[in-house]
Amino acid sequence: MHFSFKSGITAKSILSSVLAGLFCLLLFPAPVRAMTPPTLERCSSACLYNFENDRMIYEYKSQDRAFPASTVKLMDALVVWDALGDRMDTQITITAEMLSQYVGNSIDFKDGEIVTARQLFNCMLVNSANDAAVILAIASAGSTEAFVERMNQKAEELGLKATVYTNCTGMHDPKMFTTAWDTAQVAKACYAIPGLIDITSQQSYDMAPTNLSPAREVFNRNAMVSKYYNAAYSYDGALGMNAGATAQGGYTLAAVARDNENDLTYLAVVLGGDEAEGQIYSYVNGHRMLDWAFEAWSYVPVLKSTQVICEVPVRLSSAMDYVTLAPDSTMTVFLPTDTDLASEVSYSWHTYEDEVTAPVEAGEEAGVITVSYGNELIGTCKLVTTASVPRSEFLFFLDRVEDFTKSRFFKGTIAAAVLLALGYILITAFMREKRIRKISRRR
């Protein structure tokens, strides 16, 4: 554990320290080990992201191009929400033209059936239903072509550099591609939509009867959430998102899971997963990344409010010569659980003054401490006094006297007195000399 000390802090010195820390961060990234990272296999790319700390903590070929398959539904959700988010109860009449434009997974909607945007939204996200996606695309943009154009516009808004959409269902097209990194950005945006994660967390969605169909129970295709299609991959803490596959693109997964006890939520993205030896490797690798994340990362206490950092001399007290300073609160930071605090975390603190003057109250702010992990600035905290220190009235009196004797008024008074004394002496001498001369002339 490394410490350094500086006193007499100024605003300029604080700014310099922060800028220096940021400069080091750009040049020398912080060490990230977090135990042994997971070994991924039989997939084209993957990444793992933590929501609370906005941090990508693991990447496997995350910038390599891959086919998006069902994850396209996540971009669909963003574009539909932009168009219909404030009117999800809008009724939509399904037409034969709409139904002619999809292939793949479906809810078996009927020509002339009247449904709401909310019902379609649930079917698309829970069951990855292609008919629901096409109907929503036409309802919100007028045509699937116009909707795909909006999808690509949204990708540009999100800063996606390697994503191109050509349809709204995820059915294979060699001209449609993305990356694990870009897919994570789309999933992050979906996570921010109110209620969307709850929709994708449903094991099934109970759809009310319509004018042409009885009530439907729509099951979730994400095997981490629901066991209906595959019971082998359920995951404790899974919150949903999206899972699917195409023959050419393989199995895809964008899975969110949460550890409520430690207040940590992760997003695992896997693209191009194989199915081999009875295993679906989008799920296998998703499980591996999430298991590793929950074990290897946590909130690590790097400062405690009971931890004495330094001491500062105290003036005008006969009770104590100094007072100790400690952080005003405990600081916990998102770090690998195997972080060696003694060698990887360093501290630099500053006091506002070289000494403090009694009386001092416990909890008074007296400085700042900066915490770094490797060369990354990870936090700052106020330093406060740990005890109250009374003032000695006698020392205070002497100090006031000393201050008075150093004041300009006192110095001016003394100078004036000296001048008056000199003037008096000179005048007295002059008058005496004058009398002596007068006496001498009389003689």
User: pLDDT tens digits, residue range 56-106?
Assistant: 999 999 999 999 999 999 999 999 999 999 999 999 999 999 999 999 999
| Closest to 189 measured CA to CA, from 265, 77, 80, 87 | 77
Rounded Cα–Cα distance for residues 128 and 125 (Å): 5
Q: What is the mean pLDDT of the chain?
A: 90
CA gyration radius for the chain? 37
Query: What is the share, in percent, of the chain residues with pLDDT greater than 90?
Result: 79
Which amino acid appears at position 51 of this protein?
Answer: F
pLDDT of residue 49: 98
> What is the DSSP code (8-state) at residue 223?
T
Same domain, yes or no: 133 and 231: yes
The tally of domains found in the chain comes to: 3
- Regarding whether 125 and 99 lie in a shared domain, the answer is yes
Paired strand residues for 245: 251
- Residue 213 makes CB contacts below 8 A (sequence gap 6+) with 109, 110, 113
**38 part of a folded domain:** no
- pLDDT one-digit tens code per residue, 194-221: 999 999 999 999 999 999 999 999 999 9
> Do both 329 and 186 map to the same domain?
no
Q: Are residues 137 and 253 in the same domain?
A: yes
Residues 270-290 have a mean pLDDT of 97
Nearest to 377 by CA among 113, 70, 99, 16: 16
Q: Is residue 319 part of a domain?
A: yes
235 and 324 part of one domain: no
Distance of CA 318 to the CA centre of its chain: 48
440 burial type by CB count under 10 A (0-12 exposed, 13-18 middle, 19+ buried): exposed
Strands of 169-231 (E only): list them.
204-207, 216-219
CATH number for position 52 = 3.40.710.10
CATH number at residue 327: 2.60.410.10
**pTM for the whole thing?**
0.80
**DSSP for residue 31:** P
Give 406 or 251, the one with higher predicted confidence. 251
Which domain does 430 fall in, by range?
Answer: 407-442
For residue 404, what pLDDT band results from cuts at 50, 70 and 90?
Answer: low
Q: Which are the contacts of 427, defined by CB distance < 8 A and separation ≥ 6?
A: none
Does 262 score more than 80 pLDDT? yes
Tokens of 12: 């300029």
Please state the φ and ψ torsions of residue 182, each to the nearest 5 degrees: -65, -40
Domain membership flag for residue 145: yes
Task: Please calculate the CA angle 239-334-19 and round it to the nearest 5 degrees.
Answer: 130
Q: Do 123 and 241 sit in the same domain of this protein?
A: yes
